[in-house]
Amino acid sequence: MNFRIFKYIFLYVIYSQTVLAIDPIYEGENGIRAINTMSVPPWQKAGFPSIQTNATFDFSTQILRLPVVNVGESIFSATLQLIKISGSPLGIGFKLITAELSEETSPTRAAFFPETGKVVIPEIDLLNTNNNTNKVSVQMVLMPTIEPYTFEVTLLDPQPTPIYLAMTVHLEGWDANKKNLFKQYSKKIREYAQLANNYGAHLSWEARNIIKPSSIFDDNVLGELIDMNSDTVGVHADIGGPVSDGLGWTDATFQAELESMVAGIAKCQPTCRILLT
């Protein structure tokens, strides 16, 4: 074949078949970068790394990856960042980072329903976790008033195994019989109780020296801890003397004083500083 004819044929094929490489990255809605792999020629698409089609959540990075998400008749892959959501039943949600059109399929694909804002993820592999559970299913719902797209987790199955911590506060208050000092002392108690309560924690309080001043100064801060914060209040195990004295819960006077102000007090062993509910 004549070389000149071959050159013309070759150039015609190049331009008529649009085989030049293209950049599939574009600026999506709300500034989220997206990739349209459907617009990439097959020979270029082959250069992209293979995609893991299982949804994964990495505890080290707090990133949720959804390789296959059905959105109506379209298919996307998405990455989301774990966030805290105050006032939410589970207290967590996810913020969308990237969304990309995809042609992948998966038997455990996620689904987003625009009409309700609901997201269903039937299976997520958990990475870098010490939890006995290595797979979970999740349901979320779109929070339309928050940008970029933010989803509140409404169902997590199975629930992660919780860690239970017992916290006991030992109240001394030797000088609490002075009104101004008691006022400062009770203020601090309320502040620490509120701080714990803000994070969903409940404290156990061991009291002795502030029981009588609470009654004298008409400030039942101990009863308030139970009524307002669902905390636990009990009699302190001792009053500073040797444990062998057996003072504390066994002393009827202390017990009677506290019971006169607080209903349902916790019992405390005389030889320890642990409240038993």
pLDDT digits (tens, 9 = 90+) for 74-115: 999 999 999 999 888 889 999 999 999 998 888 889 999 999
CA distances from 87 to 74, 93, 156, 158, 194 (A): 33, 11, 16, 21, 16
Q: Is the pLDDT of residue 70 over 90?
A: yes
Spatial separation of the C-alpha atoms in residues 147 and 109, rounded to whole Å: 25
Q: Is the pLDDT of residue 43 over 80?
A: no
Taking the whole predicted model, whether its pTM rises above 0.75 is answered as no
**Half-sphere exposure at residue 59, Cβ-oriented, CA atoms within 13 angstroms:** 11
**What is the number of other CB atoms lying within 10 angstroms of the CB of residue 216?**
12
Q: Bigger pLDDT: 64 or 165?
A: 64
Lowest mean pLDDT among 143-147, 203-207, 271-275: 271-275
Question: Which residues, including other chains, have CB under 8 Å from residue 92's CB and lie 6 or more apart?
Answer: 82, 83, 84, 85, 153
Q: Is the pLDDT of residue 231 over 80?
A: yes
The torsion angles phi and psi of 148, rounded to 5 degrees, stand at -65, 180
**Amino acid, res. 113:** F
Q: Find, among 266, 225, 224, 226, the residue nearest to 249 by Cα.
A: 266
CA angle in degrees (0–180, nearest 5) for 98-104-109: 80
Average pLDDT over residues 31-36: 52
Q: For helices 221-229 and 179-198, what crossing angle results, to 10°?
A: 10
What six digits make up the tokens of 227?
């009524």
pLDDT digits (tens, 9 = 90+) for 160-191: 555 677 788 888 766 777 888 888 888 999 99
Distance from chain centroid for Cα 56: 17
Percentage of the chain beyond pLDDT 90 is 29
Residue 74 · residue 34 · CB < 8 Å: no
Residue 109 · residue 70 · CB < 8 Å: yes
C-alpha gyration radius of the chain? 32
Instruction: Give the CA dihedral 108, 112, 116, 122, nearest 10 degrees.
Output: 20
